[in-house]
Amino acid sequence: MLSKTSEYAIRALVFIQLQQIQNKRPGVIEIAKEIEAPEAFTAKVLQILTRNHLVQSMKGRGGGFFFKDNKCELTLFDVIQHTEGDLIFKKCGFGLTQCSDENPCPLHDKYDAIRDGFLQIAKAETICSLSQKIISGKAVLNRLVTMN
């Protein structure tokens, strides 16, 4: 469903937030290792995010990634918009270019419900809310539960 780019982006942001709570500012190498993504590619993904101000970065010694004013209240929708555009939230499940309520494909109603459900999740969940689930032990970021 989501591209690797989106997955890495979301996982990376959650990890950054988890670190920020501990007053740390992780760098690419640490982030990539934690989210189990390739280092150089993670750097590229983070570049997209910082360019679009979804997260902040600092160069140089002691640099790394962080949220300004502790603001991690960006929704998954915000992130996904930047990593794959919003076609994913609009496209017909049957592949028709002209699919609409007036001119529906045979899957229109049922698929729309599913896609809208996904949109609701994406708009409701934020990097903060996901992080919170991990902090409270209700979820994990990867196979190791790492809160150190």
Partner DNA sequence: TTATAAAAAGATACCATTGTCCTTTTATAA
Partner DNA sequence: TTATAAAAGGACAATGGTATCTTTTTATAA
Query: Which residues 4-23 are close enough to bind DNA by CB under 7 A?
Result: 4-5, 8
Contact 84, 9 (CB under 8 A): no
Tracing tokens 């996982």 back to the chain, one arrives at 11
Number of residues lying near DNA (CB under 7 A):
29
The structure tokens listed for 68 are 């300004």
Among 58, 130, 147, 148, binds a second copy (CB under 8 A): 130
User: How many angstroms separate the CA atoms of 99 and 128, rounded?
Assistant: 36
Distances from the Cα of 133 to the Cα of 13, 38, 111, angstroms: 14, 25, 29
Binding string, 47-76, against a second copy, x = CB under 8 A?
Answer: ------------------------------
Give the contacts of 129 (CB within 8 A, at least 6 positions apart): none
Residue 40 binds DNA, judged by CB under 7 A: yes
Query: What does the binding site for a second copy look like in residue numbers (CB under 8 A)?
Result: 1-2, 4, 7-8, 10-11, 14, 36, 88, 91, 93-98, 103-108, 110-111, 113-115, 117-118, 121, 125, 129-131, 133-134, 138-143
